Amino acid sequence: MKKAFAYIAVFALILSLSACSSTKLSDAFKEDEVISRAEKTVAVINTLDYDAIVSEFRDDLESQVAPEQLENAWSKQLNAAGKFVKYSSETVFGQKDKSTDEDYAVAVLVCKYENSTLTYTISMDKDLNIIGMYMK
C-alpha cells in the first residue's frame, strides 16, 4: 500500500500538469540546459540518497513527497538495476499549463544500467526547478 501511495504521490506531481498540452520547447528554455539539469537529477537518484532526491524538487513541492515514500517505491527497482552505465537517449519537449499559461520543460532520459533500462521523465519550470519526476 505504501509503495502504491508513493507511486501515486510522485505521479501526481506530473499529473498536476494534466491541464497542460505537449508542445515544442518554449524559447524560455535551452534544450542543453534542460538535459543537463535532468542528468544532474538522475545522478542524484543514482546515489540512492532519498533525502537528496526529494531536495531536488522545487521548494513548494518538497513537502509533498517524503524520502521514505520514494525509497519504498523505487529502492527495489534501482537496486536491481545495478550501476548506471550510460544514457541511451534523451528527449526534451515543452508543456504549457492552460490554466496559468506557464511553460514547462519535460526531459525523458532512457538510462542503461548493468541489469536493466530505466526511463526517467523529469518536468521543470522556467528556473529549472524540478516539478515532476517519474521512473519506470
Q: Cβ(123)–Cβ(133) under 8 Å?
A: yes
What pTM did the predictor assign? 0.80
Question: Which stretches of the chain are DSSP H helices?
Answer: 2-15, 31-46, 50-55, 59-62, 67-81
CB-based burial label for 114 (10 Å; 0-12, 13-18, 19+): exposed
Residues 29-68 have pLDDT tens digits of: 999 999 999 999 999 999 999 999 999 999 998 889 899 9
The residue segments making up the domain with residue 58 are: 2-135
In whole angstroms, give the CA distance from residue 56 to residue 46: 13
Q: Domains in the chain: how many in total?
A: 1
- What is d(CA 106, CA 76) in angstroms, rounded to the nearest whole number? 25
pLDDT tens-digit profile of 68-79?
999 999 999 999
Say which CATH number the domain at 81 has: 3.10.450.590
